[in-house]
């Protein structure tokens, strides 16, 4: 059964709530590119799917980068002269500039200000800022909080550790008939931010739960890792296996109320690019297809010119295009059960295309085969035909060994699902022969 049909059988409201609940469970954790927050997050994912954890020591050279020290925080605040905490990491982990070095100091507001970050356009929102590779400290606060700060002396505490340790990532491998792989990648380094990217890791985790026990054409590798440095570390440690990746998706920002966006891989016309565009075009939602650009999420690394992998990025609203992006307003209210379930549905439909995108030869290619005698055509003539018969005609007409089912779906404008079912019926009637794929992916 197709993945999307299996999801259709489930209660979408309940499914969406389960996805949202998982995001909510992870929301409070203080994540960064290293540290115990990452480990807690991976442990929660590991409760649901088989996950191998990898610890990469600080100082390890990975491609052009070096794994940084591990960062952990016990407490952090700015207190006024009366000792009252006016900015408090305990209330919201976004308040602390990511990777802030330890400090305990007193200083006047004027000096403190160079360490404070706000979003002026939205006076109640706290921005998300980091300083991974330049040792620094700072606090993020709302513009309203900032304006309430009176002149005077403040006490600053960052009770963090930044010491040799490890960068942690998780990998879930689900073997299929072929060693060729589909890569699903999520960044898990953002602290209390819901759309970016608890939505992505929640959808990816649920997708991984659907796959085991199925007769899979491809093997699936889902990686959950800190953005940029995590993807770079993973690539560095898996260079010999990179060639197996046939298709890949970065999943992020999948819970907000916006329509879908798919950002193409650097190659721009790979099977994943076409599968995603096809599924989105038939998703019923408004959807945008974006050309590749080298800024964004970890497709930056997968699509660097040396690797040039067929990896795109699936989102709803595009990073940077919504004001809540990288602020405290990207919270659990900003992501919706219904949207999360819809995103899982779209991911499943894309996987269905990859799993079933075969190439056939019409075994009766001279003229149309007589579908009527095989009960594949309407018996009364004179009326126009329905989409199922039309799909059969398309599959027969283009099955010359040159066109895949996705080619046929694209050219006909008929959803892949309907084309794929038409092919199944024609196969059963001996009207098609499957062509062995050029990439060693054998028949179903």
Contacts to a copy of itself by CB under 8 A:
63-65, 97-98, 117, 127-134, 136, 228, 231-232, 235-236, 239, 266, 291, 293-295, 300-301, 303-308, 320, 326, 362, 364-370, 372-373, 379-385, 390, 393-394, 396-400, 411-412
The smaller minimum CB distance to a copy of itself, of residues 111 and 400, is found at 400
Starting at the edge strand that comes first in sequence, how are the strands of the sheet with 245-251 ordered?
52-57, 166-174, 219-225, 181-187, 245-251, 311-315, 260-263, 287-290
Q: How far is CA 420 from CA 126, 274, 278, 344, in A?
A: 48, 16, 13, 20
Least distance from a copy of itself to the Cβ atom of residue 393, Å: 4
Least separation in angstroms between residue 324's CB and a copy of itself is: 13
Cis status, amide bond into 197, omega within 30 of 0: yes
Nearer to a copy of itself, 208 or 232 (CB): 232
Please tell me what DSSP assigns to residue 243.
G
Q: Which is closer to a copy of itself, CB of 183 or CB of 346?
A: 183
Nearer to a copy of itself, 127 or 170 (CB): 127
Minimum distance, C-beta of residue 348 to a copy of itself, in the bound complex (Å): 29
On whether the CB atoms of residues 433 and 360 are closer than 8 A, the answer is: yes
Measured from the CB of residue 339, what is the shortest distance to a copy of itself in angstroms? 23
Q: Provide the 8-state DSSP code for 214.
A: S
Minimum Å distance from CB 405 to a copy of itself? 15
Q: Find tokens 């000096």 and name the residue.
A: 111
Rounded Cα gap, residues 8 and 210, in angstroms:
13
> Taking the CB of residue 442, how many other CB atoms lie within 10 A of it?
11
**Among residues 2 and 432, whose Cβ is nearest to a copy of itself?**
432
Minimum distance of a copy of itself from residue 321's CB (angstroms): 10
For residues 404 and 384, what is the distance between their CA atoms, to the nearest angstrom?
26
Distances (CA, A) of 210 to 81, 183, 246, 427: 55, 15, 20, 27
Phi/psi for 328 (5° steps) reads -65, -15
Closest among 90, 71, 86, 33 to 160, alpha carbons compared: 71
CB of 97 to a copy of itself, least distance (A): 8
Q: Give CA angle at 92 (91, 93), nearest 5°.
A: 130
How near is the Cβ of 152 to a copy of itself at its closest, in Å? 26
Shortest spacing between CB 59 and a copy of itself, in angstroms: 14
Query: Which of residues 99 and 218 has its CB atom nearest to a copy of itself in the complex?
Result: 99
Which of 192, 205 has the CB closer to a copy of itself? 192
Tell me how far apart the alpha carbons of residues 252 and 291 are, in angstroms, rounded to a whole number. 17
Query: Alpha helices, DSSP H only, in 159-297?
Result: 200-210, 229-237, 271-281
Reported residue count of the chain is: 444
Q: Which is nearer to a copy of itself, 110 or 379 (CB)?
A: 379
Given the complex with a copy of itself, which of 175 and 320 has the nearer CB atom? 320
| Minimum distance of a copy of itself from residue 336's CB (angstroms) | 24
Task: Compute the distance between CA of residue 369 and CA of residue 305 in angstroms, rounded to an integer.
Answer: 47
Cα angle 163, 185, 232 (rounded to 5 degrees) comes to: 45
Residue 153: partners with Cβ closer than 8 Å, 6 or more residues away:
81, 106, 107, 108, 109
Least gap, CB of 398 to a copy of itself (angstroms) = 7
Six-digit token string for 272: 């994943």
State which residue, 178 or 397, has the beta carbon closest to a copy of itself. 397
Q: Is the CB of 149 or the CB of 385 nearer to a copy of itself?
A: 385
């Amino acid at each position: 059964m197709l993945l999307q049909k299996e999801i259709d059988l489930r209660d979408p409201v309940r499914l969406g709530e389960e996805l949202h609940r998982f995001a909510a469970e992870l929301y409070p954790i203080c994540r960064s590119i290293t540290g115990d927050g990452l480990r807690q997050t991976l442990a929660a994912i590991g409760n649901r799917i088989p996950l191998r954890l990898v610890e990469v020591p600080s100082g390890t050279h990975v491609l052009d980068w070096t794994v940084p020290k591990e960062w952990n925080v016990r407490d952090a605040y700015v207190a006024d002269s009366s000792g009252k905490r006016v900015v408090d990491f305990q209330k919201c982990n976004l308040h602390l500039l990511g990777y802030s070095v330890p400090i305990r100091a007193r200083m006047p507001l004027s000096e403190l200000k160079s360490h404070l970050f706000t979003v002026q356009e939205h006076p109640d929102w706290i921005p998300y800022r980091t300083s991974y590779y330049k040792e620094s400290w700072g606090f993020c606060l709302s513009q309203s909080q900032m304006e309430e700060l009176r002149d005077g002396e403040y006490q600053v505490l960052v009770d963090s550790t930044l010491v040799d340790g490890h960068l942690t990532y998780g990998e879930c491998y689900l073997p299929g008939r072929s060693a060729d792989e589909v890569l699903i990648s999520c960044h898990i380094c953002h602290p209390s931010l819901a759309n970016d990217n608890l939505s992505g890791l929640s959808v990816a985790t649920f997708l991984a739960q659907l796959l085991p026990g199925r007769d899979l054409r491809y093997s699936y590798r889902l990686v959950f890792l800190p953005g940029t440095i995590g993807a770079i570390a993973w690539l560095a440690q898996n260079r010999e296996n990179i060639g197996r990746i046939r298709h890949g998706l970065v999943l992020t920002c999948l819970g907000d109320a916006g329509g879908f966006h798919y950002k193409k891989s650097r190659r721009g016309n790979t099977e994943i690019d076409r599968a995603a565009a096809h599924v989105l075009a038939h998703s019923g939602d408004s959807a945008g297809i974006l050309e590749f650009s080298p800024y964004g999420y970890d497709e930056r690394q997968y699509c660097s010119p040396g690797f040039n992998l067929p990896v795109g990025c699936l989102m709803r609203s595009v990073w940077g295009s919504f004001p809540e992006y990288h602020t405290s307003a990207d919270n659990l209210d900003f992501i919706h059960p219904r949207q999360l379930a819809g995103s899982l549905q779209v991911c499943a439909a894309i996987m269905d295309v990859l799993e079933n995108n075969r190439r056939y030869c019409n075994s009766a290619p001279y003229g149309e085969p007589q579908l009527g005698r095989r009960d594949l055509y309407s018996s009364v003539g004179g009326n126009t035909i329905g989409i199922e018969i039309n799909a059969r005609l398309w599959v027969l007409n283009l099955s010359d060994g040159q066109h895949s089912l996705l080619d046929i779906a694209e050219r006909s404008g008929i959803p892949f699902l309907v084309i794929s079912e038409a092919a199944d019926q024609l196969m059963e009637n001996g009207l098609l022969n499957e062509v062995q794929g050029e990439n060693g992916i054998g028949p179903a």
